Amino acid sequence: MPATKPRLVEQRRSPQREELARAIDALRRAERAEQANRAGLERADDLVLDAKARLSEARSQVDKAREADAKAVGKALKAGTTPASNGALQKARRAEEAAADHLASAETARDDLKRAVPELDGATKTARQRVEQLANAVIKSEVPAKRLIEEAEAATAALIEKRLVLRVLLGFGNDLIVDEEQKARVRRVLGADMPGALGSVQFQDWSQHPVSVAFAQMRQRLAADADALCQCQFPSVDHD
């Protein structure tokens, strides 16, 4: 059985989640309208091609009827009789007119659908941006950022102290650490790249770290389901 997505259970939605739920519904309506218009445009293209083929055939039938009419008139003139009215030519002309009208209607409908594309695309884009903003608002209201900052500050200070001690122990020409394996480990620790602010110079792709991936997945779940749990698989981070 497929794994179920974690969701809130028997809990009233917060105002932020209620607003997010409405935005998700609006996005889905915008996406359905956009998809319906694009599907209609594809069918309109097919309809125009078919209408052009029918008009071409109708014009061919008019040419054939006109040729047959000319032969009939010539035959009647040679026989000294009055040429009869050619019903086949009149019928072919009516069919040609109907085919031309059908093509014009198809092209007008296609043009209307084309004109609607930018507006519908823009509405979907705006709705999607609104969902992303509100998903961020839910995360902001539920992830304990203040406590995480305080813990990160304390952990960073402790880490700096330990790195400085290791730096001195490794030293330059000192033999305070003689074990080669330990020296290699210290060098790896001191040379390790640490995640900085987004956009800063990095020596590895921290966006692929499990924590970053989990956070991105959390945002994706919230953007699709206003009742999705706002939690990540952080080894040492709890949520209020």
Query: Which residue pairs, CB below 8 angstroms and at least 24 apart, start in 82-85?
Result: none
Q: What is the pLDDT along the chain (240 residues), one digit of tens a residue?
A: 445 455 544 467 899 999 999 999 999 999 999 999 999 999 999 999 999 999 999 999 999 988 888 888 888 888 788 777 678 888 999 999 999 999 999 999 999 999 999 999 999 999 999 999 999 999 988 888 888 899 999 999 999 999 999 888 888 666 788 788 988 998 899 888 888 888 777 788 888 888 888 888 888 999 999 998 876 545 455 544
The reported pLDDT for the residue numbered 9 is 42
CATH of 15-142, one of 3.40.50, 1.10.3430, 1.10.287, 1.20.120: 1.10.287
Q: What is the pLDDT of residue 42?
A: 96
Whether 22 contacts 139, CB under 8 Å: no
So what's the pLDDT on residue 234?
54
**Domain limits of the chain?**
15-142
Q: What pLDDT is stored for residue 5 in this prediction? A: 53
